[in-house]
Amino acid sequence: MLFPIVNFQHAHFECTFGRGCEGECCRQGRPPVYPEECERIDLLLPKLLRELRPAAKAIVALQGYVSRRRKSGQPVLRVVDGWCVFFNNGCTLHRAGAAEGDRFRYKPWVCATFPIARERSGDWYVRQKGLNGEIWDLFCLDPCVTNVTAAESLRQEAELLMIHLKSQQPESVVELDQ
């Protein structure tokens, strides 16, 4: 069975963090966090605490980094002052993983694979301004601002998503549809 991202070849996306974007996808997102992701974050947390914003550090120390809210059956990351607790001039989870040679190592897969999402029909797609009632008005989701296709810019993210899906349902995914 192929793993199709229905608009992968013709969608446009280019992350511009640090080049005009200050991490808007980390605002109010509240991504779900799976148990294996929590295990990796838990191992890193003592080191990570010193990298957090003061308000986030205080909340994480008192209440932890996941809230009681749930999305897709999983707890979600906390938000403090409108930002993910792990955001501090960029994603601290991303930086920690990148320092170890794998920028995705500690990030929840939902964050790591942004802007790939699943439609209610079950199809996967690249989020785009004006597509499927997209509600986030993010610069990076506007297909008119870059000529870079999702197939070029999101290859690693799509492969990571495929790995995640295989771990959840091994029989459901064989290869990435190019």
Residue whose entry in the numeric block shows the structure tokens 């290869």: 175
Asked if residue 147 is part of any domain, the answer here is yes
- Return the structure tokens found at 1: 């069975």
Within this chain, do residues 71 and 122 fall inside the same structural domain, yes or no? no
Assess whether pLDDT exceeds 70 at residue 171.
Answer: no
Query: Over the stretch 34-83, which tens digit does the pLDDT of each residue have?
Result: 999 999 999 999 999 999 999 999 999 999 999 999 998 999 999 999 99
Predicted pLDDT of residue 16? 84
Domain boundary among 62, 83, 107: 107
Assess whether pLDDT exceeds 80 at residue 175.
Answer: no
d(CA 41, CA 31): 14
Number of helical (H) and strand (E) elements in the chain, helices listed first: 6, 8
pLDDT band at 3 (very low <50, low <70, confident <90, very high): low
Query: What share of the chain has pLDDT > 90, as a percent?
Result: 65
Query: Over the stretch 119-141, which tens digit does the pLDDT of each residue have?
Result: 888 889 999 999 988 888 888 89
Predicted pLDDT of residue 1? 37
Within this chain, do residues 38 and 100 fall inside the same structural domain, yes or no? yes
Helix (H) / strand (E) containing 2 = strand 2-3
Helix (H) / strand (E) containing 131 = none
Asked if residue 49 is part of any domain, the answer here is yes
Predicted pLDDT of residue 161? 87
How crowded is residue 82: how many other Cβ atoms within 10 Å of its Cβ? 9
* Residues of the domain holding 91: 32-107
Sheet strands (E) in 49-139: 66-71, 74-77, 79-80, 83-84, 116-118, 124-126
Domain boundary among 52, 80, 107: 107
d(CA 44, CA 72): 24
d(CA 85, CA 73): 20
pLDDT band at 172 (very low <50, low <70, confident <90, very high): low
- For the whole model, what pTM was predicted? 0.86
Domain count, the chain: 2
Asked if residue 26 is part of any domain, the answer here is no
CA angle 156, 162, 165 (to 5 degrees): 145
Predicted pLDDT of residue 21? 83
Tell me the angle at which helices 35-48 and 92-99 cross, rounded to the nearest 10 degrees. Answer: 80
Assess whether pLDDT exceeds 50 at residue 178.
Answer: no
